[in-house]
Amino acid sequence: MFIGFSTCSCTHPGHFNIILPSTTGSYKCPLPHPKPVWISPVSLRAYRQIPDVLAKKGANIPQTYIRETPYHSITLHFKHAFRSVYRHELETRISHKPWTQEISKVTDWPRRRAVAEFRLCVRHDCLGAHLHRIGIHPDPYCTLCSFNEPMDRNHLGQCTALNNKTECEQYWEARTKMMEN
């Protein structure tokens, strides 16, 4: 039994119908018609070639190949975009700070000195004034000497309880003594 498609020429021109084999070797349209329609195997062969012709015609149309972007490339693109936006926002926020010029000198120093200088420059130095500003210490005054001045970078050179000569050594000594008290 052969099932194929063909156009019916009697009452439904241009309409596709299922073709069933007949007993005589020809193919007959199964739809009810006023007169039977017989389709010879030769004309059926011509209808079978229509899909091949259309496929060959479509193969000659230039296709644009859209390559999918790998997940890794997409994530790298987003990381770069977010980092550049964050870096730009950070640069605009700190551009008016007074310590931005002093920070550029810090990178060439040994770590202990660089950390002390950086903390003193940005005023996040864990001395009395900073600890009072963030709400950890009850008052900003120096607990090591009797001058009753706020303990910050300016006071380190005047504090009588500190013995060291350089500002870096005074900073670390003051932190150590504050933790002991």
At 90-145, the pLDDT tens digits run 888 888 887 777 777 676 778 888 888 888 888 888 888 888 989 988 888 888 88
Q: For tokens 């090591």, what's the residue?
A: 144
Output 35 or 147, whichever has higher pLDDT.
147
Here the tokens at position 61 are 């149309």
What is the pLDDT averaged over residues 144-152?
A: 86
Longest Cα–Cα distance of the chain, Å, equals 125
Q: Say which residues have a Cβ less than 8 Å from residue 85's Cβ, sequence separation at least 6.
A: none
State whether residue 111 is helix, strand or coil: helix
